Amino acid sequence: MIRFNLAGVSIPSEDPSMPERTVLSPCTVELSEPRIAVIGANGSGKSTLLRLINGLVSPSTGSVEVHGFNTVQQAKAVRQRVGFLFTDPLSQLVMPIVIEDVELSLKASHKNRAQRTEAAQRALATLGLKHLAQRSIYDLSGGERQLVALCSVLAAGQNILVADEPTTLLDLANNQLLQSTFDALTQQVIYATHDLDFAASADRALLVSDGQIIFDGPAPEAVATYRQLVRDGRVTP
């Protein structure tokens, strides 16, 4: 269970005489459904909302809790439970060889190198990526990279996955491959996306506009509301 308690984010204005800029207005929501989509225009506050969940961004007001752990005071405990998938997998892959990157996620839990390698191979096999184990991350396609990044995140054993526009850089085939991989996951998945079909398949969706959650409910309704707002020119980026 993820709980936002009046959590909001503001940043100081460049001009000290001006008020702070609100990136995300204080919001109170509980996220417990297996698949939750976050939609909205660029710069609307989607990424900030997601980053609050694993403490990459700290709330200026209120608090965020994951399974009862505060994301600021108990960040380590939160990150043991929440994995984060970035838009660009190259930002996230640290090691040059696929299996080495998965092993890096397992370093804390597997001190023995042989056991670590074995566990990494198992993790890759789970997502059908065993054949990529010895490949350079720079030689992979965008979809393969994103799946490897996902594998590295999941290898650490977190039970919540937060994904910030994971399909944005992917072509249609890789987009579908990633979505079907998401479908098969047992973890709770919260993802921001501009792919409205992908968003509509979620159990619930949040529509974010101008730093506020303006709709929270069934995904198809959220998508329809978003389309209507765009048609009416009422979405502010």
User: Between residues 105 and 209, which has the closer beta carbon with respect to another protein?
Assistant: 105
Rounded-to-integer distance, Cα 231 and Cα 217, Å: 20
Alpha-carbon span 55 to 122, nearest angstrom: 29
Q: Which of residues 142-171 bind another protein (CB under 8 A)?
A: 152-153, 156
Question: Residue ranges of the alpha helices (H) in 68-208?
Answer: 75-79, 89-92, 98-106, 113-126, 142-155, 172-184, 196-200
Q: Is residue 105 a contact residue for another protein (CB under 8 A)?
A: yes
Strands 35-40 and 188-192: what pairing? parallel
Nearer to another protein, 21 or 107 (CB): 107
Site for another protein contains 88 (CB under 8 A): yes
Q: Does 86 bind another protein (CB under 8 A)?
A: yes
Closer residue to another protein (CB): 91 or 186: 91
Which residues lie below 8 Å from residue 84, measured CB to CB, with a gap of 6+? 50, 51, 54, 56, 153, 161, 162, 163, 164
Shortest Å, Cβ 197 to another protein: 27
Is the Cβ of residue 54 or residue 209 nearer to another protein in the bound state?
Answer: 54
Min dist. Cβ of residue 235 to another protein (A):
27
192 touches another protein by CB under 8 A: no
Among 14, 16, 108, 231, binds another protein (CB under 8 A): 108
In sequence order, the 6+-apart residues with CB closer than 8 A to the CB of 221 are: 205, 215
Single out the residue of 115, 138, 173, 230 in contact with another protein (rule: CB under 8 A). 138
46 token code pair: 């989607």
Binding status of residue 46 toward another protein by CB under 8 A? no
- Residue of 75, 185, 214, 224 that binds another protein (CB under 8 A): 75
| 29 is an interface residue for another protein by CB under 8 A | no
Question: Could you give the CA distance from residue 80 to residue 54 in angstroms, rounded to a whole number?
Answer: 9
Member of 92, 146, 188, 209 binding another protein (CB under 8 A): 92
Cα dihedral sign, 237-212-12-191: negative
| 143 vs 209 by CB, closer to another protein | 143
CA distance 40 to 126: 32
Task: Phi first, then psi: give them for residue 17, nearest 5 degrees.
Answer: -80, -15
Residues that bind another protein (CB under 8 A): 54-56, 75-76, 79-80, 83-84, 86, 88, 91-92, 94-97, 100, 103-105, 107-108, 113, 134, 136, 138, 152-153, 156
